[in-house]
Amino acid sequence: MNKLIELKNLTKNFDDQQVLRGINLDIYENEFLTLLGPSGCGKTTTLRIIAGFEEPSGGEVLFNGIEISKLPPYKREVNTVFQKYALFPHLNVAENIGFGLNLKKMDKDVIAQKVRKMLKMVGLEGFEKRDVTLLSGGQQQRVAIARALVNEPKILLLDEPLGALDAKIRKQMQIELKKIQQEVGITFIYVTHDQEEALSMSDTVVVMNNGEIQQIGSPTDIYNEPENRFVAGFIGESNIIEGIMIRDYLVQFDGFEFECVDKGFEDNEEIEVVLRPEDLDIVEPSQAKINGVVRNVTFKGVHYEILVETELRTYKVQTTDYAEVGRQVGLKFGPEDIHVMYRMGAY
Amino acid sequence: MMNTRNNEGKNSALARKAGKKRKASYGMKRSTRFEKIYLGIIFFLMYLPVAVVIIFSFNESKLPVRLTGFSLQWYEKLFADSAMMEALVNSLILGVASCAVSAVIGTLGAVGLSRIHWKTKGALEYISILPLMIPEIILGMVLMAFFYMLNLPFGMLTLLIGHTVFCIPYILMEVKARLVGMDPSLEEAARDLGATSMRAFFDITLPLIMPAVASGSLLAFAMSMDDVVISIFINGPRLSTLPIKVYTQIKTGVTPEINALCTIMLAFTVVILLVYSLIKKLKRKYK
């Protein structure tokens, strides 16, 4: 696959506040890449720099190897789907979608044809003459996607496009967006703070915090092999425990030594361990090293969420087995359930 | 501006609700009647003089004391009065011209203000609507002194400049309020889809703020049409606008002709107000 966009040591300051602190990122053709992070992490700023709405304070933006950071948005082969759709309220659906083609002075019939094709793709056939302000949120979103894609960009940028939709339509649109991306075969750069959305749609997830990239990887990697405490905490729920890597395949925490599958750390390096709640099992105290008392049980539908208080901390466990409050239990997990991370500064 | 209007709406809705509640608990009937009477008196006092003028404009007698019969003679006389008609034409030209000039300046100013993020932005906004707050008599005097210093001949040009000065704030305020409620990503979307900043402004922003430009212009036009104080300082020796004409005529006593003129102007104002509220209603559609 070819590199389409290269961000090299990108920085951005607003007044005296640094919002991007050296972003290095390669984005490939036909990739569904998600920038994921809490609000204020710099993900939207990164997107706006690629779109051309902001100029970076430092660093380079390469598009097919050519520096474009000074290029105005209308000269870029990039289109954006905005958070609040940004449909033009004084134009109807067809006029909105045809806006870009009209600027290119295309033939009216060609425009009408392309608009129809796009409407079909997003499932809004026959909506040409509708008033955009009277469409539902989901429909407006589809028009916004069609309006961007009709220009046949190399990259589609999506800035939290599903944020304003309710949960059910959001799920449906996630599936549809992924389908559209595969159909048109272009790169999607997607910005969201919703980790579930990021994991279910992306080829690559870029986790950001404080204007820095924390981890780049496939959704499975990001979930199963978080590189640090921030990633582990932001994606899914987790128990994070400080420990020591005694040597390869042997880790110590909570006063016990455990076999694990991680290696490559220095002997006796201070590390942090992630135990996902769904990887923990509740057993009889005699069957496990770590013991504790059940403090709270919450029924979550598919599973119970059980808080087990041990001497040193409280573990969160997700299991289908019920354990009553006050019971003495053991926490069991296998070597492959332990994930060791580098220890990082305070969060 | 829109916001305050909405709030007012909300408040009155709340008040209505509260009123209903109290009515339900311990009969407010007497109090409601009192409110109605009070309201009636206020409106009566406010509009009685207006009604008198309208009625006497159709009166046959020259003396405004007794109604002697229906007649349109004062209207005929008014339209036959060439000086009066000339003043009317002057006023219309002045109103339209100052309105057009200030629509351009005011709109550009509001768009500019919406795009800057300077620390002095608040002060700039105040300065740009200051002509509304400055007492008219002072503004008129200042303008006169200024034009005198510049050696400008007093006449239509000085009137146009003077009226533009106090018309700009009306348009600026209306457009600014409209821009505040507009999603800034609309213009970005246009640029993203291939429009230059210029095209984005003319294709997207301008059509969307047009209702505000129109309603601001109407207000400005109405203000220009009835201005006496500023105009009288800067109108020059021979040029007369309609309000000045009325003012000077009244010095020699109220004639039924003036009543007729006032009635026409009143009707005109009512029409402007109706159009203005219609525009406001259309504007809300796009919210």
pLDDT in tens, B240-249: 888 888 888 8
User: Tens digit of pLDDT for each residue in B31-57?
Assistant: 678 888 999 999 999 999 888 888 888
B79 falls in which pLDDT band (50, 70, 90)? confident
**Reduced to 3 states, what is the DSSP secondary structure of residue B285?**
helix
Contact A28, A179 (CB under 8 A): no
Is pLDDT of B9 > 50? no
B29 falls in which pLDDT band (50, 70, 90)? low
Q: Which of A52, A89, A103 sits opposite B195 (nearest CB)?
A: A103
C-alpha to C-alpha distance for A23 and B167, rounded to whole angstroms: 50
Across the interface, do A104 and B186 touch by the CB < 8 Å criterion?
Answer: no
User: Tens digit of pLDDT for each residue in A285-344?
Assistant: 999 999 999 999 999 888 999 999 998 899 999 999 888 999 999 999 999 999 999 887
pLDDT of residue B94: 94
B132 falls in which pLDDT band (50, 70, 90)? confident
* Mean pLDDT within B174-194: 92
**Any chain B CB within 8 A of the CB of A84?**
yes
| Cβ neighbourhood burial of B263 (10 Å; 0-12, 13-18, 19+) | buried
pLDDT of residue A59: 93
A102 falls in which pLDDT band (50, 70, 90)? very high
* Mean pLDDT within A200-211: 94
What is the nearest CA distance from B192 to chain A, expressed in angstroms? 5
More confident position, B57 or B25: B57
C-alpha to C-alpha distance for A160 and A177, rounded to whole angstroms: 12
C-alpha to C-alpha distance for A317 and A311, rounded to whole angstroms: 16
Is pLDDT of A1 > 50? yes
In a mutational test of the A interface, the residue from B192, B196, B209, B286 whose CB has the highest number of chain A CBs within 10 Å is: B192
**Reduced to 3 states, what is the DSSP secondary structure of residue B95?**
helix
Q: How many CA atoms lie within 13 A of A318 on its CB side?
A: 13
In a mutational test of the B interface, the residue from A55, A99, A106, A191 whose CB has the highest number of chain B CBs within 10 Å is: A99
Contact A146, A138 (CB under 8 A): no
Q: Which of A74, A80, A84 sits opposite B183 (nearest CB)?
A: A84
Q: Which of A290, A293, A314, A316 is nearest to A303 (CA)?
A: A316
Compute how many other C-beta atoms are within 10 angstroms of the C-beta atom of residue A295: 13
Largest Cα–Cα distance in chain B? 72
Q: Which of B245, B225, B266 is nearest to B83 (CA)?
A: B245
- Answer yes or no: is the ipTM higher than 0.85: no
Cα–Cα distances in angstroms (integers) from residue B38 to residues B33, B41, B237, in the given order: 9, 5, 48
pLDDT of residue B25: 45
A12 falls in which pLDDT band (50, 70, 90)? very high
Is pLDDT of A238 > 80? yes
Q: Where are the alpha helices (DSSP H) in A63-194?
A: 93-97, 99-103, 108-121, 137-149, 167-184
What average pLDDT is seen over chain A? Answer: 91
pTM: 0.77
Compute how many other C-beta atoms are within 10 angstroms of the C-beta atom of residue B79: 14
Q: Which of A253, A208, A202 is nearest to A230 (CA)?
A: A208
Query: Across the A/B interface, how many CB contacts are shorter than 8 Å?
Result: 65
**Any chain A CB within 8 A of the CB of B282?**
no
What DSSP line would sit under A224-266, residue for residue? HS-SSHHHHHHSS--EEEEEEEEETTEEEETTEEEE-S---SP
pLDDT of residue A328: 93
C-alpha to C-alpha distance for A122 and A145, rounded to whole angstroms: 8
Residue of B nearest to A98 (CA): B193
Across the interface, do B185 and A90 touch by the CB < 8 Å criterion?
Answer: no
Cα–Cα distances in angstroms (integers) from residue B75 to residues B56, B66, B225, in the given order: 12, 19, 20
Is pLDDT of B64 > 70? no
Q: Percentage of chain A surpassing pLDDT 70?
A: 99
Contact A319, A303 (CB under 8 A): yes
**Any chain B CB within 8 A of the CB of A38?**
no
